[in-house]
A and B are shown apart, each in its own frame.
Chain A
Amino acid sequence: MLEIKNLHARIGEKEILKGVNLTVPDGEIHAIMGPNGAGKSTLSYVLSGRDGYEVTQGEVFYNGQNILELEPEDRAAAGIFLAFQYPVELPGVGNANFLRTALNAVRRKRGEAELDAVAFLKLARAAIKNLSMKEDFLKRNVNVGFSGGEKKRNEMLQMALLQPGLAILDETDSGLDIDALKIVAEGVNALRSPTFAALVITHYQRLLDHIVPDVVHVLSGGRIVRTGPAALALELEERGYAGLEAA
């Protein structure tokens, strides 16, 4: 379970999050929608521990542990996964090597045995098949020369292998065609279980046709200004975000 209590955060002198309160129980998928500049990406970076985002007030608990004190890699080991809006390229680093290094780093911290190359390849090939990806993905360098859709698929592959308890999707749908959108949705839906929760951050409603959320929150001006069922997303699509600030 993720619990965010009165979270304030700033970048430099600029306060972006101004008291976010949010609870995501295990087994649920919550969507966060909101206009540009509402603080959506800031929230995802604060949750995953990126440098440069200073928390000035509030607490974030994941499964009872205060994660704000953890390094990004320890949050990953604790089960938090951030799917990037713009996945980063790593020239010369093979995808298989990257995936295996990451998976073994996480497994080591979780007290699980590391996987040798053979066991890893078996696992990776199965995950690739599930995501209808080509096997040459493993041989290519991490995100280098990937199309937008391929980059997002690669995020889903990483997520499938790392088996997080909480996935945060930071506008993963931006710039995707409908086929790629479906892949992302399938990636998330495949992980649905009573021990998995997700925070789907999106500007548009269309992703939520494919990942149907249990709850929709609206983030505006650094605060959650509305919370409602999946239908709220449709309402927002129709009326836009105007007028929400005051609510």
Chain B
Amino acid sequence: MSASMQEIAERKYKYGFTTDIAMEEFPRGLSEDIIRLISAKKNEPEWMLEWRLKAYAYWLRIEEPDWAHVKHPPIDYQDLYYYAAPAKEAPKSLDEVDPELLKTYEKLGIPLNERAALAGVAVDAVFDSVSVATTFREMLSKAGVIFCPISEAVREHPELVKKYLGSVVPVRDNYFAALNSAVFSDGSFVYIPKGVRCPMELSTYFRINARNTGQFERTLIIADDDATVSYLEGCTAPMRDENQLHAAVVELVAMENAKIKYSTVQNWYPGDENGKGGIYNFVTKRGACLGKNSKISWTQVETGSAITWKYPSCVLSGENSVGEFYSVAVTNNHQQADTGTKMIHLGRNTTSTIISKGISAGKSDNTYRGLVKIAASASGARNFTQCDSLLIGDQCGAHTVPYIESRNASAKVEHEATTSKIAEDQLFYCRSRGLSEEDAVGLIVNGFCKDVLKELPMEFAVEAQKLLSVSLEGSVG
């Protein structure tokens, strides 16, 4: 590759570098022994190990699902590494974090130094299988907020973890959830006590670095009565020729009057323009609105990954509870995305809103798959769904697969869907005013996504807009 080609490739995916650091890896493959090793490495109590082994036993008995509108060669689960971590002992404070790791996060634009950090955002940094740093913990604990790596929560707050882990996404929920339950290594744990409005945005920054390593993130967020929290996650990975697996589980629990806002900007390495390499992003995310008047809001901007398989969902049990899903999914080159949501209405007068914007370019395939289910108990439930697809070029695909099940006659369910192409006259109009073709596409795409982008916290909205333009570079002309 010539120097200038290299530059272009790097501009397209600027997070593609690797960090050279001594790593500790367990042997390749998955077995009970590996799970025991992971559990021992994390000094877990016996009950946690039992939980993992049960999940593993179940996983062994079931088959990988094949209903999603995606294609990939079979994954050899024995060829993966299930644990990789920087070799040094876990740091006890930010001052002890390996400078090489600090540099990595600086390069990603996530300073872990509290003085240099973005004001008002606390960060948990997960590098391969472990959390390497969590900022602003002291300030948060003064407000009673617990924000720590989940491996630490297992030891320090077992009563909360025992009660809620697997309560929203059961071990037996699906193939990837079972796998995650068996081998999950790290992720964030958040508990907001009664009546507390979390004083800052919380965020986790996931980085996959090691080769052939799966990342099995596990995140659990609990907002107690009248509590409020906004949580952001970002994800990147080096450019590698092999596909890598990211199989995460995220569980949210909202009690009475609690509000959880969960935002994702997913920018895993998408593979090259020929479809080589990239992350398989097979993720189960679900929130339970247990209490009256509780609210869970998912906002996602999905631009990365070779394959995305992800349906952030809400189970609306509490009376008057609210579920929201705002999504932008961009696919370019050979990327495939099958994403959407499930809104399960159980309680009375529950409401949900789904706004999904899919953008397909190159030879990619983009599917919206969503379920709105109104149980017999959900009198007065309401849903509004809007699914818009935008096509760039004539070799890509957009698919919309909505499922609606209503068992209560008083429920109202609305579904609107559109598919459009960026019109030649729109591009020419912009260019005749001085915009380059790529800037014009960026402007039109950002306009198309506006209803979703405005739901993102400020810090992310600007980043997300830039990301959309970069992801679609080279998609026209």
Contacts and interface: CB of A to CB of B under 8 A. Distances in A.
Interface of A: 48-52, 71-73, 75-77, 81-82, 84, 87-93, 97-98, 101-103, 105-106, 109, 141, 158, 162
Most buried by B among A76, A87, A88: A88
A178 to B, nearest CB: 27
Given A51-B424, A93-B444, A105 B436 contact: yes
Interface in B427-446: 428-437, 439, 443-444, 446
A168 to B, nearest CB: 10
Contacts of B437: 71, 73
B17 interface: no
Contact of B433 (A49, A51, A76): A76
B434 A105 contact: yes
16 contacts: A48-B432, A71-B431, A71-B437, A72-B428, A73-B434, A84-B429, A90-B426, A90-B443, A90-B444, A92-B448, A98-B430, A98-B443, A102-B434, A105-B433, A105-B435, A109-B434
B450 interface: yes
Query: Chain B interface residue count: which class?
Result: 20 to 34
A218 B159 CA distance: 87
Contact of A92 (B423, B425, B436, B449): B449
Contacts of A92: 446-451
B426 A73 contact: no
Contact of A72 (B431, B443, B447, B451): B431
Contacts of B446: 92-93
- Top 6 A-B pairs, shortest CB-CB distance: A92-B447, A93-B447, A106-B434, A102-B433, A76-B434, A88-B429
B431 A73 contact: yes
B447 A82 contact: no
Interface in B391-434: 423-426, 428-434
Nearest to A78: B434
A103 B443 CA distance: 14
A62 B87 CA distance: 66
Nearest to B451: A92
Contact of A105 (B428, B439, B449): B439
B115 to A, nearest CB: 28
Contact of A91 (B431, B432, B436, B447): B447
A76 B429 contact: no
Nearest to A77: B434
A217 B264 CA distance: 59
Most buried by B among A75, A76, A93, A141: A93
Most buried by B among A75, A102, A106: A102
A89 B227 CA distance: 43
Contacts of B435: 73, 101-102, 105
Given A90-B443, A90-B447, A93-B447, A50 B428 contact: yes
B324 to A, nearest CB: 19
A174 B444 CA distance: 27
A51 B450 contact: no
B36 to A, nearest CB: 53
Contacts of A82: 432
A86 to B, nearest CB: 8
Contact of B448 (A73, A76, A91, A102): A91
B434 A93 contact: no
A90 B429 contact: yes
Given A51-B424, A92-B450, A93-B447, A158 B429 contact: no
Contacts of B424: 51-52
A76 B435 CA distance: 9
Most buried by A among B425, B430, B444: B430
Nearest to A72: B431
Most buried by A among B433, B435, B436, B446: B433
Given A92-B447, A97-B443, A105-B434, 18 more contacts: A49-B431, A72-B428, A73-B432, A73-B437, A81-B432, A82-B432, A88-B428, A90-B429, A90-B444, A92-B449, A92-B451, A93-B447, A98-B433, A98-B443, A101-B443, A102-B433, A105-B433, A109-B434
Contacts of A109: 434
A102 B429 contact: no
Interface string B434-477: 11110100011011111100000000000000000000000000
Contact of B430 (A75, A102, A141): A102
Interface in B154-207: none
Contact of A88 (B426, B434, B451): B426
A101 B442 CA distance: 11
B439 A101 contact: yes
Contacts of B429: 84, 87-88, 90
Given A88-B425, A105-B436, A76 B450 contact: no
Contacts of B447: 90-93, 141
Contacts of B449: 92
Contacts of B433: 76, 98, 102, 105-106, 158, 162
Contacts of B431: 49, 71-73, 76
B355 to A, nearest CB: 12
B288 to A, nearest CB: 33
Contacts of A91: 447-448
Most buried by B among A51, A52, A71, A92: A92
B409 to A, nearest CB: 36
B443 A162 contact: no
Nearest to A159: B433
Contact of B443 (A49, A50, A52, A93): A93
Nearest to A98: B443
Contacts of A49: 431-432
Contacts of B434: 73, 76-77, 102-103, 105-106, 109, 162
A109 B433 CA distance: 12
A75 B435 CA distance: 11
A76 B450 CA distance: 27
Nearest to A109: B434
A73 B437 CA distance: 8
B369 to A, nearest CB: 24
